[in-house]
Structure 1
């Protein structure tokens, strides 16, 4: 989970959630596929409509959510790990964030967080704390420090966005977990999980919608330019072979 707050820390602007269902690992191992992106499900909810923020989301489209719906959302996620009301099965949920206790404090202060004591199966993990212990004590608390250390692809312009940061936080935890266990004797199943999770953690985020439009536009311009150059070269070749203007007239 990742929260984006106002500068004075009194207003919640975004909440990002990224989930990894361990049951999906079993499905992927039974039916291997190259599209490992489906293992992570990433969502972004905006409490205040802002087009500039929405277009920075790298995973599908951001959704608008009224503030009075946040508590219900967190209740579902913390109990079932699912955002969808039809999911009712209670699961063992591990809640992960970078600087999570600061986020939990802000949610409680705003009355948006359910009492965690109601969720007997929940485990709370702070990637910031783990990275300081595992990498080095003086590691900065910034989220981008962990991906940079583990060579997880990211872009500065996609940081400080709830959904993007939630996805990056989960990838960071995967790499921290693999790093902490690197000297252990791995079972065949653990090795299989490692081989599956490593490319997931190091997979580059997809382009945002505006970047896709820009890329498509640039490709179209380049294609038209190449076409014009090809046509001009054809005309030039015709001109070298003939003294008349038939090649030029043909192009017209």
Structure 2
């Protein structure tokens, strides 16, 4: 069964919009796990507009499942991850002013940089994953960085799913098949939702984990976390 890691960035955005500590991020993380989520994901950015670095340091107090920290490996991010030592670090090539993640790594152009960063994290016992587009060449480049896993960037799939699901999934199946042959673990994330996640999970061979935040939080505004998380787990089973 594919694991569900819930990205709680949007919960922090809501909290930050009014100041104070409502909703309480630690309580939400605790409850999300109690409702069945198998991991908690955060993606702190330099401007700390949602998850703050302080949040990332506090969350290990309540995360009893997998803890995944995503982000661009700038020096401050690297230090934070090495201090916390989460279950997994996912490296994403975000621009400093990026609204959201919008591209995977060029694993050939950035091979040496990624190799150095990944070696540092793996030496600390942290599982590594890198964000990549569904491009076989980028998957092949990923193996040379030493990463444990790749996270397939699924925005293109989500955008095309309703019009032509078979065509939308095709490059992801090809990328995943190549990753499997190279011994890379496969994660996925970005714009996956209750509407499209089941088809994705059914067609991607050996999909280990999905990280879902924006859609899951939006769906939970209507249905509640306690209902939505089991709905995702059913689709991933």
Instruction: Establish whether TM, by shorter chain, passes 0.5.
Output: no
Larger strand share, 1 or 2: 2
Higher CA-based Rg:
1
* TM-score, structure 1 as length reference: 0.26
Structure holding more helix per residue = 1
Q: What TM-score do you get using the length of structure 2 for normalisation?
A: 0.27
